[in-house]
Amino acid sequence: MTAATGDTASASSAPPPILQLRGVDKLFGEFPAVDRISLDIREGEFFTIVGPSGSGKTTMVRMLVGMDKPTNGDILLRGERINDVPANKRPTCMVFQSLALFPHRSVGQNIEFPLKIRGVKAASRKERALELMAQLRLPESYYGKGVSQCSGGERQRVALARALAFDPEILFFDEPLSALDYKLRKILEKELKDIHRETGKTFVYITHSLEEAMVMSDRIGVMNKGRFVQIGTPNEIYGNPSTRFVSEFMGEVNILEVGPGPDGTVIDQATGASYHAPPIADSFAGGSLVIRPEDIRFLDDTASPAANKLEGVVYNEYLLGSRVQYQVRVGDAQVFLVEKLREQQLASARGGRVTIAWDAKDSTIFPTARFAS
């Protein structure tokens, strides 16, 4: 619901939709894997569907490429209903999670496959394959190589080249990078975004990693239990998560169960402490207060003014590459996560008494009713 409003608000300046879903359902027995989804994917955008496993994202993309049919609803490509058009007749194609490269064919033959199917002559096939290999930084000598001799990253590039050889109007990706190590994944994410710019095609990418989605996408749709909980640009999703689910999905956050307090404050239901929070409705009866670890700071001077202040003890310290995360115990029951840049690392932190603070504007309130369903 929130998703739909956010979508229409920014739609006026956006390019026309290439792919539209109208109330699309996919039922497995009684279970709705995809539950009444309506969505517009715009021409030329990099749209990422992100959600935990079982959220219905793979089921959805299988319907979009034509491998499965929706139980209810319509899928429109440039305004034309394509529910019953099989995958091989659709101008779309997909890079599989397993890549599904043909092991009995060479790199060149794999890339040429869609052209061979269309009856393109061998010479022009090879020309196009070499062109794509150059674009994707695959050495020309790989043309005759077996795909099993290629490394993980090279195989990704071969799969992408094969999909581009098909020259689809929309290119789908089903978590193709999930099997790679972190460093290579980061490189390929950027390459993919570059390829998206170079080709100008519409990319629809599926992943369970919001981090990955943030790097590449123009817009992100966060899925949970067969529905979109939020659709928006990476900045919108990061800065203004619509539900507790989205903010939790984005990474580790501090969540406090709170009830209404006097003068627009909220009362921590675990400790009875009172916090300043962003403006809340009069009808607010309770919910979650979410504060990101990087929005909490350590106060050097415990007397300095701050909206919300708590005293605690640093229980543990974790190094996360360029950042440092602290686990701060407040009282007996509460644990706060605080994240700092490495240069702001505390000296001999563990066991030290600290004062943590955050501003009301950096916290978000999600009333219980909004995500109870």
Partner 1 sequence: MTDASVRISHVAAGHSRVSRAEPWQVRLGTALSKPGFLAALPVGILLLAGFVGPLALVFLFAFMPPQTFSVLQAPTLANFRTIFSDSYYLSFLASLQLAASTVAILLVICYPLAIAMVRVFTRKAGILALVLAAPLFVADNLRLMGWMLFLVKGGVVSGTMQTYLGIPVDSMLYTFSATLFGLVYINLPMMLFPMILGVSMVPAQMREAAFDLGASRWQVMKEVDIPLAMPGIMIGALITFILAAGAITEAKVLGGTAVVMIAQDIQKEFTFAQNWPKGSALSMLMIVLAGSLALAMFKRVDLDAIFGRKG
Q: Applying CB under 8 A, which residues contact partner 1?
A: 65-67, 86-88, 93-94, 96, 98, 100, 102-104, 106, 113-114, 116-118, 144-149, 162-163, 166
Q: Cβ closer to partner 1: 147 or 192?
A: 147
Question: What gap in Å lies between CA 173 and CA 58, rounded to an integer?
Answer: 10
Question: What gap in Å lies between CA 101 and CA 95, rounded to an integer?
Answer: 10
Q: Cβ closer to partner 1: 72 or 178?
A: 178
Least spacing, CB of residue 53 vs partner 1, in Å? 17
Least spacing, CB of residue 161 vs partner 1, in Å? 12
Q: Cβ closer to partner 1: 65 or 365?
A: 65
Least spacing, CB of residue 89 vs partner 1, in Å? 8
Least spacing, CB of residue 145 vs partner 1, in Å? 5
Least spacing, CB of residue 56 vs partner 1, in Å? 19
First to last CA, the chain: 12
Q: Cβ closer to partner 1: 22 or 145?
A: 145
For 22, the token pair is: 């109208």
Least spacing, CB of residue 254 vs partner 1, in Å? 41
Q: Cβ closer to partner 1: 88 or 373?
A: 88
Least spacing, CB of residue 139 vs partner 1, in Å? 14
Question: What gap in Å lies between CA 160 and CA 177, rounded to an integer?
Answer: 11
Decide: helix, strand or coil at residue 13: coil
Question: What gap in Å lies between CA 34 and CA 242, rounded to an integer?
Answer: 20
Nearest of 13, 23, 52 to residue 246 by alpha carbon: 52
Find residue 353's DSSP bridge partners. 313
Least spacing, CB of residue 207 vs partner 1, in Å? 18
Q: Cβ closer to partner 1: 130 or 306?
A: 130
Question: What gap in Å lies between CA 294 and CA 253, rounded to an integer?
Answer: 9
Find residue 228's DSSP bridge partners. 223
Least spacing, CB of residue 21 vs partner 1, in Å? 19
Q: At what angle do helices 152-165 and 107-117 cross, to 10 degrees?
A: 20
Least spacing, CB of residue 338 vs partner 1, in Å? 44
**Beta strand pairing call for 72-77 and 287-291:** unpaired
Question: What gap in Å lies between CA 27 and CA 190, rounded to an integer?
Answer: 36
Question: What gap in Å lies between CA 158 and CA 131, rounded to an integer?
Answer: 12
Question: What gap in Å lies between CA 279 and CA 283, rounded to an integer?
Answer: 12
> CA-CA distances (angstroms) from residue 27 to 98, 110, 204, 228?
25, 35, 22, 16
Q: What share of the chain is helix, strand, coil (3-state, %, to 5)?
A: 30, 35, 35
Report DSSP state, residue 1: -
In the chain, DSSP finds a helix count (H) and a strand count (E) of 10, 20
Q: Cβ closer to partner 1: 102 or 318?
A: 102
Q: Cβ closer to partner 1: 96 or 238?
A: 96
Q: Cβ closer to partner 1: 93 or 195?
A: 93
Q: Cβ closer to partner 1: 68 or 362?
A: 68
Nearest of 207, 171, 177, 208 to residue 191 by alpha carbon: 177
